[in-house]
């Protein structure tokens, strides 16, 4: 699998509704994982809130989304992040190193409960990034 770059939208309790809306616009198949599936949800988050949602379309579009816990900032209009994902370990780790240099690391790139390596940073220009290295 090649690495891919796609938008990652953030919501507060409406990610599932938004994902269903975008599926009605673009078509495709959705997949949703909730906070409850991975244990105790963060404070201000319901177990049924979306930890990660994804829409894949026949046109090759990928749109990801999640519900942001109340303990984290969320400002409509600034609720988009860029996601890099795939299984090219060396390339993705290299992107992570370059993006996080002189930026702010929110979550260090490390193995997560869902089995992948994941990290979150904001680059030196203020652009938020997610990097997910697939373990499968």
Question: Would the pLDDT of 77 be above 80?
Answer: no
pLDDT band for 32, please (50, 70, 90 cuts).
very high
Predicted model pTM: 0.74
Domain ranges of the chain: 4-133
The encoded tokens of residue 78 equal: 């600034």
R_g (Cα) of the chain, nearest Å: 15
> 55 pairs with which residues across the strands?
30, 63
Q: Average pLDDT of 60-83?
A: 88
Contact in structure between 130 and 62 (CB atoms under 8 Å): no
Question: Would the pLDDT of 1 be above 80?
Answer: no
Helix (H), strand (E), coil (C) string for 10-29 = EECCCHHHHHHHHHHHHCCE
Question: In terms of CATH architecture, what is 4-133?
Answer: Roll (3.10)
Cα separation, 99 vs 120, in Å, equals: 10
Question: Would the pLDDT of 61 be above 90?
Answer: no
């Amino acid at each position: 699998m090649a690495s891919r770059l796609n938008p990652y939208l953030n919501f507060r309790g409406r990610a599932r509704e938004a994902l269903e809306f975008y599926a009605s616009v673009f078509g495709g198949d959705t997949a949703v994982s909730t906070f409850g599936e991975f244990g105790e949800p963060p404070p201000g988050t319901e177990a049924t809130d979306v930890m990660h949602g994804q829409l894949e379309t026949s046109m090759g579009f990928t749109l990801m989304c999640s519900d942001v816990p109340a303990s984290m900032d969320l400002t409509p209009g600034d609720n988009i992040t860029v996601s890099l994902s795939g299984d090219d370990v060396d390339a993705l780790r290299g992107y992570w190193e370059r993006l996080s240099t002189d930026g702010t690391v929110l979550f260090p790139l490390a193995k997560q409960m869902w089995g992948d390596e994941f990290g979150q940073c904001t680059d030196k220009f203020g652009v938020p990034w997610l990097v997910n290295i697939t373990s499968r």
